Structure 1
Amino acid sequence: MKKYWLIGLYALALTSCDSFLNCEPENSFSSEGFLESESDLRLYTNGFLQSFLPSEETIAWGGDQYADYCATRSSTTFLIGDTWDDTQQGGWGTDDWGELRQINYFLDHLPNAKGKVTDAIYLHNEGVGRFWRAYFYYGMVRTFGDVPWYETTLDVDNRDELYKPRDKREVVMDKILEDLDFACTNCSTDKTLTESSTLITKWVALALKSRICLFEGTYRKYHTELGLQNSADKFLRASVAASEELMTKGPYKLVSTGDVETQYRSLFTSEDLNTTEVIWGISFKKDLRMHSITWKLFSASFGANWSLVRPFVNMYLMRDGSRFTDRADYTTMQYMDEFQSRDCRLMQTVISPSYQRKISGTVKPDAPNFSMTSTGYQLVKWAIDDDVHVGKATANNSIPIFRYAEILLNYAEAKAELGECDEAVWNTTIKPLRERAGVDGKIPAAYDPYVAAYFKNQTTDKWILEVRRERGAELAFEGVRYDDIMRWKLGDLIDKVWQGIYIPQKGEAYDLNGDGVKDVAVVDKEPPAGDKIKGVQYVVIGKTNRLSGGDHGYIEFGFNQGRKWEDKKYLHPIPLTATQINPALLPQNPGW
């Protein structure tokens, strides 16, 4: 039976085909004898999950490692200087469009099952196929903008379709919305599908629609160069509708254990997906399916030193709901003090002074390690607190893809962008999220100048700014931040120098977690072995590190990487390999 899924892959390798878009599967099974039973349909759609699911690392840092709030040891070539061009660009090859071909082949041959399965099963499977087509095209539009739309596998003689020009963004996005609407209407909510939060259901389709439509609505609003502002509200309202349906009819709610210092992070470190809040995720099990995320987060060589940056950390509120940046001493507050009475998501996202983990079998305090962090704000959200997983791909914590928390945030942001956010919206979205993190959920009286300045004074609408603050705190390193920055048209936030913890005096050693042991010193030159303080990590000022004030200030990193933002980078170029085969794909994206 597994051959049903593999036959499409075999076809992609056939050299006799003019294009992988028209290769017909060749196998001992004819199309007339296949996809005729519920088990056939289930096997084929399970193949979609095996092939198209994002990886655990794509969710945990993926594109977000290149977003505004993350310092990383090495950036992507795409963001460095102005050296990227269409010869280096991928994403348009056999493997990429082959995914679409698998989906369309399934949908084309789904009628084989008519009359042999119930109408509900038939419509659910069509919804699953159309879910994956929307998912595929969403990725293509985010990357390339205009792309050719195909909703069927093509005949070898249909050269007009095989070599047609790109369809306009608005055409493709309308088609995506049609597919999403079908999936949201027809995908099942049967408990056998929903109970694991790993399969495609009506609720998963609504979550994808909520995310995609928010992306497209705000992209059109802020990217005025597209001339699509007048249609932005259509997508914002579609996001609102999808979110509302999930909020009022779905079975999900925020996880609440009563412990504000642990309940948030438990969503990301537990073996079982918490199906109270997780709508869709990737399941891992000890000794059966495991990953290396903990290893990479606690490795000086295997990982990339993913770390938050100080300007972003400053946006986490105080627990009484007041702004950290309203404190007179916030600019010079040291690491030991800045976590005190703060939003509890901060201490559950990065190592805090109270952080402990099991080291060699014993639970001990553990301070940021500057061989694993560049700023001092070392990512720990996805890590299991046991060094037994370091050096081994044995982490078994499952990975949420869609959470109910994101749906609340999508709803609040879409309403804010429509000018319709009010106390009622706030009380059902932002307030419960803040209260789960131990923060007073009161509505601020006015907009926050710090947050407005962080976002380049693009808006002074307090509702929009507070939702953006909340998205950052709640969804950090969950695979959405880079896309947020792209849709808000704030790409130039990405090439800033990364700033970390505050160091009062160069050459002095500091205890970061209050255990009586000095942890770090910023120096011009590492001292001789005999002069070193036991346990101290020496951060040497030079090509990669410096202090913002010369002999004091924020640790700064990344100033030598050559990251350079240009607005053409909101889209990638169409690869040269594609335009050589099909010149109708030209003209190239703007600036490339």
Structure 2
Amino acid sequence: MKKHIKTIVSCLIVWGCISLSACEKYLDKDEQTNISEKEAFKNFVNFQGFTEELYNCIVNFTNNYWTNSWNWGEDEITSTAGNYHYIHKIDDGNFWGWQSQFDGWGSGWMDKSNFSTVNGRFNKDLWNAAWYGIRKANIGLANMDLMTDATTEEKNIIRGQLLFFRAWFHHRLMEYFGGLPYIDYVLPSAGEIRLPRLKYHECADKAAADFRAAADLLPINWDNTEPGRRTLGKNQLRINKIMALAYLGKNYLWAGSPLMNYESTGSKTYNVEYCKKAAAAFGELLKLVEGGSTQYSLVSFADYYKNFYTTGEGWALPGSTEAIFRGPFNSANDSNWGTSKQYTPVIVSEGDLKFVPTSNYVSYYGMKNGLPIPDITKPDAASGYDPTYPWKNRDPRFYNDIVFDGVKFVQGAIPNVDEQPNRYANLYTGGSYRNVSTGSRTGYVLRKFIPITANKYDNAYSWGYSLHIYVPYMRLADVYLMYAEAALMGYNSPQGKDPNFSKTAVESVNIIRNRAGVDPVNTKFLGSVDNFLSELRRERAVELAFEGHRFNDLRRWLLLTEHPYTIKTSLEFDRSGTFNTTDPTENRVANLREVVIVQRNYTNKHYWLPLKNVDVNMYAEFSQNPGW
């Protein structure tokens, strides 16, 4: 941490234009562009140029490498063609692997030895970007009094962005490492640092103060401001009031969750007061959204894919009206180099390493009637699930996200007659899609982030289709579900709600289910907090599947070490009867069973990632996480 926190950032360059995708290191500028501090911070254009670099500290975790890993819960497993991604270290219990000195490129977006804010997907990582961004935000806040040639609106927008980023970078680090020093001033470049680690709640309170101040200063939509009109139509990624409220709520909900509450108070329960504060922040946001005062709304289920990718739209940024927080991207074509190919078995695609959904996780996708499946291998009269027809009448998101056996995968021509059988997903035991090295180890394939035509025959990942994949950090559906959790635990009832927002916890969940065409939460889950919490967590698993949330959710719920969240399974079965090429849900299967392929042996130390030894050895007050 020492070299990152104490690095002197030269931030005194004017950028002629405000562009999130054109940030460069100031020290790379021509000497003639250097000007005094007084001029650099004097007006909005100059100060915003300084602030822009913070956006380039938001890591694009989706496309940070050729293929990339960001799902570290029990949700995903890779083919055996490679073992260098951090997901393998996580499965082995070796959490040190996030650090570049232990794993090289395999740790991906968490830590890299060549950090830079210059455009490029190979030089961005959370650890370095966060400390760099915190210092830069503090430098900007320390120089606000030099912004003399500016309106009140312009000053508020600059201060709001800086406060947001200071809180956001702290929050991101806290998620993985727990309470840290909260650095809210410019540390000197020389001299001894002895800032102690704070408890998680202490950090969260400081982050909340920054998020709250940012929300009060920032506009809902930059296009409706005088400064924003200078970049009209190009402001969708700029930090606004809705983003600040969303992370204010998330910061409070995380602080109120069992893991963080235990770290701070010794109690393994939800913290009611933090949950109420979270519900209030989310409620304030959702009231604005539902009142039509914002640019955000849930996309229709027909356009659900636009949350994650666009195709044939001139490389348009994914997210549509639902994505609340995203960062800039280096090149829209980055996703076609590897991400677009990392899901499809090599027999119908390119590249050896594949990321596939685990069977145990896919089982969270219940039935269209809204009921869960207690055991994927056994019939359930209540839900209507039949293991001889396991793909029938499932939650519509199952069909949107998951390729199962018999799905027509290749849509166009297959020139080689010998390859014709691969037109349909052969995911039964022994099928052509089931190669453990280059295909599916589990009996499923993920399609949530790619069109089904992303294969070597239909070629949807070629340049001409302009396929752009980008998974957002946060979208509106996530906010509804976080509000539901906060309202439930803060007000001790599925009917709990923030006093200033109209919807209850269960109503908020049902909004998300209704969008997908799933029946509401069944009344049998509404009789107690625990029953509804279980269904709410399942809903979160399904709606936010494979978007990078599950690992942190299991950790904050203190479930990471508990069975069945410690296993990864495959679904084994045989085809039975006549193969239906028109409707694969009508295909009968036999001998359906689950097989454990990974057992993760965790202890309590695995709830937090280990800090770097070089940092914890600086001084006694900056201690290592327990057990490491």
TM-score by length of 1: 0.76
Separation (CA, whole Å) in 2 of partners of 1:119 and 1:109: 15
Tell me how far 1:316 sits from its aligned partner: 2.2
Q: Deviations over 1:104-162 (max 9, x none)?
A: 2222223221x311112211211111111111111222222232222122223553xx2
Contact 1:59 1:478 in 2 (8 A): no
**In structure 2, do the counterparts of structure 1 residues 125 and 383 end up closer, same or farther at CA, with 3 Å as the change threshold?**
same
Separation (CA, whole Å) in 2 of partners of 1:284 and 1:576: 32
Q: Residue type of the partner of 1:278?
A: A
Counterpart in 2 of 1:307? 356
Contact 1:350 1:377 in 2 (8 A): yes
Separation (CA, whole Å) in 2 of partners of 1:269 and 1:277: 13
Matched, 1:184 2:196: no
Counterpart in 1 of 2:444? 377
Counterpart in 2 of 1:401? 473
**In structure 2, do the counterparts of structure 1 residues 405 and 60 end up closer, same or farther at CA, with 3 Å as the change threshold?**
farther
Matched, 1:351 2:403: yes
Matched, 1:329 2:379: yes
Tell me how far 1:315 sits from its aligned partner: 2.8
- Shifted more, 139-148 versus 176-185: the winner is 139-148
Matched, 1:269 2:313: no
Counterpart in 1 of 2:326? 281
Q: Deviations over 1:242-288 (max 9, x none)?
A: 211111113333222xxx5x443343233454543222335779977
Separation (CA, whole Å) in 1 of partners of 2:207 and 2:13: 29
In structure 2, which of residues 84, 89, 92 is the aligned counterpart of residue 77 of structure 1?
Answer: 89
Question: Does the residue aligned with 1:122 lie in a helix, a strand or coil?
Answer: helix
Q: Residue type of the partner of 1:293?
A: T
In structure 1, which of residues 249, 254, 262 is the aligned counterpart of residue 298 of structure 2?
Answer: 254
Counterpart in 2 of 1:580? 617
Counterpart in 2 of 1:52? 58
Matched, 1:208 2:251: no
Separation (CA, whole Å) in 2 of partners of 1:144 and 1:178: 20
Q: Residue type of the partner of 1:496?
A: T
Contact 1:336 1:514 in 2 (8 A): no
Contact 2:96 2:609 in 1 (8 A): no
Q: Residue type of the partner of 1:441?
A: P
Q: Deviations over 1:384-436 (max 9, x none)?
A: 33332558796324443321111110110111112143185156311121122
Separation (CA, whole Å) in 2 of partners of 1:231 and 1:468: 14
Q: Residue type of the partner of 2:533?
A: I
Separation (CA, whole Å) in 2 of partners of 1:555 and 1:150: 48
Separation (CA, whole Å) in 2 of partners of 1:231 and 1:430: 19
Q: Residue type of the partner of 2:486?
A: A
| 1:443-458 alignment, distance < 5 Å | 443-446=522-525
Separation (CA, whole Å) in 2 of partners of 1:164 and 1:242: 30
Counterpart in 2 of 1:554? 594
Separation (CA, whole Å) in 2 of partners of 1:322 and 1:83: 36
Counterpart in 1 of 2:499? none
Tell me how far 1:356 sits from its aligned partner: 4.1
Matched, 1:105 2:139: yes
Question: Does the residue aligned with 1:348 lie in a helix, a strand or coil?
Answer: helix
Q: Deviations over 1:40-88 (max 9, x none)?
A: 2332333211222433247999765220222234433244156849984
Separation (CA, whole Å) in 2 of partners of 1:516 and 1:437: 20
Question: Does the residue aligned with 1:491 lie in a helix, a strand or coil?
Answer: coil
Contact 1:216 1:487 in 2 (8 A): no
Tell me how far 1:99 sits from its aligned partner: 2.8
Separation (CA, whole Å) in 1 of partners of 2:333 and 2:253: 37
**In structure 2, do the counterparts of structure 1 residues 46 and 425 end up closer, same or farther at CA, with 3 Å as the change threshold?**
same
- Shifted more, 76-85 versus 347-356: the winner is 76-85
Counterpart in 2 of 1:534? none
Tell me how far 1:2 sits from its aligned partner: 6.5
Contact 2:608 2:625 in 1 (8 A): yes
**In structure 2, do the counterparts of structure 1 residues 69 and 116 end up closer, same or farther at CA, with 3 Å as the change threshold?**
same
Contact 2:443 2:572 in 1 (8 A): no
Contact 1:495 1:565 in 2 (8 A): no
Matched, 1:154 2:223: no
| 1:137-176 alignment, distance < 5 Å | 137-159=170-192, 162-176=193-207
Counterpart in 2 of 1:546? none
Q: Among all aligned residue pairs of Structure 1 and Structure 2, give the percentage whose two residues are the same amino acid.
A: 20
Matched, 1:589 2:589: no
In structure 2, which of residues 511, 514, 518 is the aligned counterpart of residue 435 of structure 1?
Answer: 514
**In structure 2, do the counterparts of structure 1 residues 447 and 67 end up closer, same or farther at CA, with 3 Å as the change threshold?**
farther
Question: Does the residue aligned with 1:492 lie in a helix, a strand or coil?
Answer: coil
Question: Does the residue aligned with 2:370 lie in a helix, a strand or coil?
Answer: coil
Separation (CA, whole Å) in 1 of partners of 2:481 and 2:298: 12
Contact 1:349 1:381 in 2 (8 A): yes
In structure 1, which of residues 220, 242, 255 is the aligned counterpart of residue 281 of structure 2?
Answer: 242
Tell me how far 1:36 sits from its aligned partner: 1.9
Contact 1:305 1:374 in 2 (8 A): no
Counterpart in 2 of 1:533? none
Separation (CA, whole Å) in 2 of partners of 1:464 and 1:470: 10
Contact 1:197 1:278 in 2 (8 A): no
Separation (CA, whole Å) in 2 of partners of 1:576 and 1:466: 40
Matched, 1:503 2:576: no
**In structure 2, do the counterparts of structure 1 residues 41 and 422 end up closer, same or farther at CA, with 3 Å as the change threshold?**
same
Contact 1:220 1:229 in 2 (8 A): yes
Separation (CA, whole Å) in 2 of partners of 1:502 and 1:564: 24
- Shifted more, 167-176 versus 342-351: the winner is 167-176
Separation (CA, whole Å) in 2 of partners of 1:2 and 1:32: 11
Tell me how far 1:475 sits from its aligned partner: 0.5
Question: Does the residue aligned with 2:257 lie in a helix, a strand or coil?
Answer: helix
**In structure 2, do the counterparts of structure 1 residues 571 and 290 end up closer, same or farther at CA, with 3 Å as the change threshold?**
closer
Contact 2:357 2:446 in 1 (8 A): yes
Tell me how far 1:489 sits from its aligned partner: 0.6
Separation (CA, whole Å) in 1 of partners of 2:250 and 2:448: 22
**In structure 2, do the counterparts of structure 1 residues 435 and 282 end up closer, same or farther at CA, with 3 Å as the change threshold?**
same
Contact 2:245 2:285 in 1 (8 A): yes
Counterpart in 2 of 1:422? 495
Question: Does the residue aligned with 1:147 lie in a helix, a strand or coil?
Answer: coil
**In structure 2, do the counterparts of structure 1 residues 226 and 372 end up closer, same or farther at CA, with 3 Å as the change threshold?**
farther
Contact 1:203 1:279 in 2 (8 A): yes
Separation (CA, whole Å) in 2 of partners of 1:501 and 1:275: 34
**In structure 2, do the counterparts of structure 1 residues 59 and 103 end up closer, same or farther at CA, with 3 Å as the change threshold?**
farther
Q: Residue type of the partner of 2:51?
A: T
TM-score by length of 2: 0.72
Tell me how far 1:10 sits from its aligned partner: 7.4
Tell me how far 1:557 sits from its aligned partner: 2.6
Q: Residue type of the partner of 1:402?
A: M
Tell me how far 1:210 sits from its aligned partner: 2.2
Structure 1 residue ranges without an equivalent (≥5):
12-24, 449-458, 523-548
Tell me how far 1:501 sits from its aligned partner: 2.2
Tell me how far 1:359 sits from its aligned partner: 4.8
Q: Deviations over 1:279-300 (max 9, x none)?
A: 2335779977754421222264
Question: Does the residue aligned with 2:354 lie in a helix, a strand or coil?
Answer: coil
- Provide the aligned length of Structure 1 versus Structure 2: 525
Counterpart in 2 of 1:541? none
Separation (CA, whole Å) in 1 of partners of 2:32 and 2:609: 35
**In structure 2, do the counterparts of structure 1 residues 153 and 112 end up closer, same or farther at CA, with 3 Å as the change threshold?**
same
Q: Residue type of the partner of 2:362?
A: V
Contact 1:336 1:512 in 2 (8 A): no
**In structure 2, do the counterparts of structure 1 residues 207 and 267 end up closer, same or farther at CA, with 3 Å as the change threshold?**
same
In structure 2, which of residues 65, 72, 97 is the aligned counterpart of residue 66 of structure 1?
Answer: 72
Tell me how far 1:471 sits from its aligned partner: 0.4
Q: Residue type of the partner of 2:371?
A: S
